[in-house]
Amino acid sequence: MARSTNQKLKLLILKDFLERNTDEDHPAATAQLIQELERHEISAERKSVYDDMAALQQYGLDVQSRKGRAAGWFIGERAFQLPELKLLVDAVQSSRFITRRKSDALIRKLEGLASVHQARQLQRQVFVDRRVKTMNESIYYSVDKLHAALSAGKQVSFRYFDYNVRKERVFRHDGQRYTVSPRGLVWDNENYYLVAYDPRHGETRHYRVDKMAELAVTCLPRDREGAEPFDMAAYAQRHFGMFTGREATVRLRCENRLAQVILDRFGMEVILVPDGAEHFIVALDLAVSPQFFGWLFGLGDGVELLSPDWAVAGFRAHLQRVAARCGGHDAPAEGIG
């Protein structure tokens, strides 16, 4: 490449060098910048470097200078500051729905947004006990396709599977394709879910994205029902662990110490009605499922399910079935209190 052509790249090379090699704790001296330019066969003098730094500042790059013993030039404000990048790396690393290989690739890209010195601080491990990563590598691209379908107002088609005891895919409905109208995506219980109107059942359902295969965006517009306004947050809140169940307004009587638990799960908008000095009653719209019963059981004797009657009967029957499966349930429950 001709020397004059390289000269045209001078500002770009300086910008790249500063972004990758400098930060507040690691400034680059003017002599270092001149040496970097010479490596690219670009001639430079100290005065021209000062002019280049001024041009980069005018462009909008936060180039700062420091005088004294640790004199030099460095990038100050960046699009993402180091604490923000650490937060993003932690989220990617601990996320269950992102495969291990894709996690590593994303973290390497995030490291590119910091200096090489700061990037070393991003090379850390977030320890989540026995964290299981998804086995479906295609989820990363499936989410992108689903967003595209939502934006274009199109239906999507896919096959849906579960894993058997041999860790083999077993497709539901004999491998027939599902064709649904997307309403939105929900990230719940560490999984991505597509919430969509299913015309075969005439209702809105949800599907785990990592269990979809051969996902395709069709040319068909969404069904009228699928295009109607829909409260995604309320839908996700009603379904414990995104499991389906009979929807109802459930009334609970809780000890006051459980107020934070209820507010954490259902939000600050729910109304807690005092019931005596030690209790409150709350009415919640949700899907009554075994997962809801499990959550309720986890609160112990501090909560009472008041209504509807069929939910109370269902909870009682659920507890009896579980108790019947406990070996030696006639013996004293030692160590439980």
DSSP-derived secondary structure letter, 189: T
Q: State yes or no: pLDDT of 332 exceeds 60.
A: no
What mean pLDDT comes out for the span 155-175?
88
Please state, as a whole number, how many other Cβ atoms lie within 10 Å of the Cβ of residue 254.
20
Q: State yes or no: pLDDT of 334 exceeds 60.
A: no
Least confidently predicted of 68-77, 122-131, 175-184, 289-298: 122-131
Per-residue pLDDT of 250-303, as tens digits, reads: 999 999 988 988 887 887 888 999 999 999 999 998 888 888 898 898 898 999
User: Residues of the chain with pLDDT > 90: what percent?
Assistant: 42
Domain locations along the chain: 3-75, 82-122, 139-230, 240-324
- pLDDT of res. 187: 78
- pLDDT of res. 132: 52
Structure confidence at residue 56 as a pLDDT band (50, 70, 90): very high
User: Which range among 115-119, 245-249, 331-335 has the greatest average pLDDT?
Assistant: 115-119
- pLDDT of res. 328: 58
Please state, as a whole number, how many other Cβ atoms lie within 10 Å of the Cβ of residue 124.
12
What's the whole-model pTM score? 0.55
Per-residue pLDDT of 80-139, as tens digits, reads: 998 899 888 888 877 777 777 888 889 899 999 999 998 888 876 555 444 555 655 677
Q: Which two tokens stand for residue 312?
A: 């109370």
**CATH class, range 3-75:** mainly alpha
Determine whether domain 139-230 maps to CATH 2.30.30.
yes
Long-range CB contact pairs, 6-11, < 8 A, 24+: 6/40, 6/41, 6/42, 7/42, 7/43, 9/40, 9/42, 10/37, 10/42, 10/44, 10/52, 11/52, 11/55, 11/56, 11/59
- pLDDT of res. 130: 43
Q: Which fold has domain 240-324?
A: Alpha-Beta Plaits (3.30.70)
Cα separation, 13 vs 37, in Å, equals 7
Instruction: Give phi and psi for 278, each to the nearest 5.
Output: -115, -5
What mean pLDDT comes out for the span 191-212?
87
Domains 3-75 and 240-324 share a fold: no
Q: State yes or no: pLDDT of 23 exceeds 70.
A: yes
188 pairs with which residues across the strands?
191
Q: State yes or no: pLDDT of 2 exceeds 50.
A: no
Cα separation, 261 vs 267, in Å, equals 10
